[in-house]
Amino acid sequence: MRNENKIVYKEGLKGVICDWAGTAVDFGSLSPVSAFEEAFKDFGHEVTRDEIRQFMGMYKKDHIRELLKLTRERFRKNFGRYPTEEDVEFIYGKFEPALIKIIREYSKPIKGVVEFSKEIRKMGLKIGSTTGYSEEVMRIVVEEASANGYSPDFWSMPREDVPGRPYPFMIYENAIALRIYPMSAIVKIGDTVSDIQEAHNAGCWSIGVVVSGNELGLSEEEIEEIDPALLKTRVEKGYNTLKEAGAHYVVDGIWDALPVIEEIDQRIRSGEQP
């Protein structure tokens, strides 16, 4: 006989998992774009910033694979052949040093992040994090962010045995390390489509951020200088992109996320699931 009874989780949120570049540090997610531009230029196959930003948030080798796939006909015209895995490895070998060279200066917390993390801990929640960066890069990022007041309880990065976004496995690692469950008791905050997909695939709630992240892709200084009407249009486009990707909520930046966290907590306590 089929059992129609369903256990509904109503104990509220237990954890928040944040992305790094564009969400917690590196306003505008500028450092990886700069490193990709340099790496591809050194290889002799230049790609545009818009092309680079299409795949932001992914494991960086996967990001390179997608860029080469996107521009494969241009690549063939340049080199007389289609790209190979050897090309991926060569470009990645250029990307990592280029990123490491600049990453520290881009690793200070975005405005509101330190205060947000303090309030989250007051609520009794754990703070985890995921990234598309390598371990070598992350050690610099974590050290610099911590020195400036932001230090999550755990961080996970993609590896050979842990595929990166949009796969959910880094979120699972956070859940295991922080002892938080079920997955519907977790919120993932990020600035890219792959962040939203990661949350969806893990069974978590998701909050997308636009103004500080990849979808807008501007520094704070550039935001001050851009035409207000154009800025509004670009922000609206970013909101729509993350909503279409499946984000439960979209905000300008993590500085606006606390009321959303509280709302999600109440929705869970009333029996809702992602």
Catalytic residue annotation: 19, 60
Q: What is d(CA 109, CA 243) in angstroms, rounded to the nearest whole number?
A: 25
Residue that has been written with the tokens 């469950």 in this structure = 181
Q: Which two tokens stand for residue 189?
A: 């905050």
250 close to 243: Cβ distance less than 8 angstroms: yes
262 close to 5: Cβ distance less than 8 angstroms: no
Q: Which two tokens stand for residue 73?
A: 């006909």
Q: How far is CA 209 from the centre of its chain?
A: 9
Nearest to 120 by CA among 9, 18, 272: 18
Residue that has been written with the tokens 């249009």 in this structure = 233
Q: What is d(CA 203, CA 52) in angstroms, rounded to the nearest whole number?
A: 28
Sheet holding 249-251, edge to edge: 126-129, 15-18, 186-190, 205-209, 249-251
b/e 158-187 (16+ beta carbons within 10 angstroms → b): beeeeebbbbbbbbebbbeebebeebbbbb
Q: Report the DSSP beta bridge partners of residue 162.
A: 159
